Amino acid sequence: MQSLKIAGIVLRPDSPQIKKDFLIIKELFEKNGISVVLEKSSAQMIGQNGFELEELALDCDFLVSLGGDGTLISLVRRSFKYNLPILGVHLGTLGFLTDITVDELSGFMDELVNNSYSIDQRMMISSDIKQMPVVAFNDIVITRKDLTGMVSIDAKIDGKVFNSYYGDGLIISTPTGSTGYNLSCGGPVVYPLTDAFIVTPISAHSLTQRPLVLPVDFEIELCIKDGKGAVAIIDGQDIYELNHNETFKIKIAHKKAKLIHSLRRSYFDVLSEKLKWGENR
């Protein structure tokens, strides 16, 4: 692993109170020989100087997300083309992705400076929606435009007709996103380092529709058959309106997200804590 000498830090938006935590992290990094650069919008929020993410990413060895899972997901997508490892530091409750608190970071520094950490390689998915290239870390959700109707979606795999979905929508999830909206809609939990698509209908108007796990060498093609159209939601953050008969394809992205974790971290411990598994023993 390469030595990590320069950290680019991105803060949770609309949280000026986060300045205290940022200054703690900055001092901690600098004491351990790691320079700190702050992203511009984060810097403006707390009255500091910063750089646009594009400029920052070219100069840094790794990125740091300070906030929650949403902040980390946004940073993964925004920095996708730079292929930098990202450390998620969380505030508040433990996240599925951000597993180190500000208080725990001091104990993790020896691991970080001595290259004694792991880098998870997480699958991402890509698509061209409205002729715009998009990437998703968790999921792409296709759903109805209004609350009164349902949406109809035709699906093909590698150009061959596969299924027709009719209901509240459809989730195409990565294994990382399997513990998100996919889980709440009855989809399976898939180990995050797996390469697979998870296709989960949302409140399907048929008892025979079930979640499906597919290998990533397939290309999924979706066509909106509802006359009212639909919307595509990328990682719960970006929304695109889709018209009747509009078609787009989803496939595995050509790069993976790289997340820095402590070697002591156990994904199954996180699952047990977040999902309350084993509490009735």
CA distance 141 to 7: 33
Q: What is the pLDDT of residue 123?
A: 97
Q: What is the pLDDT of residue 280?
A: 65
Q: Are 76 and 253 in contact (CB under 8 A)?
A: no
pLDDT-derived band at 268 (thresholds 50, 70, 90) equals confident
Q: Exactly one of 69, 99, 120, 235 is catalytic; name it.
A: 69
Q: Are 181 and 236 in contact (CB under 8 A)?
A: yes
Q: What phi, psi does 145 have (nearest 5°)?
A: -80, -30
- Tens-place pLDDT, residues 34-91: 999 999 999 999 999 999 999 999 999 999 999 999 999 999 999 999 999 999 999 8
CA distance 62 to 8: 6
Rounded alpha-carbon distances, angstroms, from residue 84 to 58, 271, 279? 9, 26, 38
Tell me: pLDDT of 33 over 90: yes
The structure's pTM equals: 0.93
> What three-state secondary structure class fits 63?
strand
- Tens-place pLDDT, residues 75-106: 999 999 999 999 999 987 667 888 788 988 99
Tell me: pLDDT of 175 over 90: yes
Q: Are 54 and 60 in contact (CB under 8 A)?
A: no
Q: What is the pLDDT of residue 76?
A: 97
For the chain, domains (ranges, CATH) are 6-123+256-275 (3.40.50.10330), 125-252 (2.60.200.30)
- Tens-place pLDDT, residues 132-152: 999 999 999 999 988 788 999
Q: What is the pLDDT of residue 182?
A: 97
- Tens-place pLDDT, residues 210-240: 999 999 999 999 999 988 899 999 999 999 9
Q: State the average pLDDT for the chain.
A: 93
pLDDT-derived band at 281 (thresholds 50, 70, 90) equals low
- Based on the residue annotation, tell me whether 69 is a catalytic residue of this protein: yes
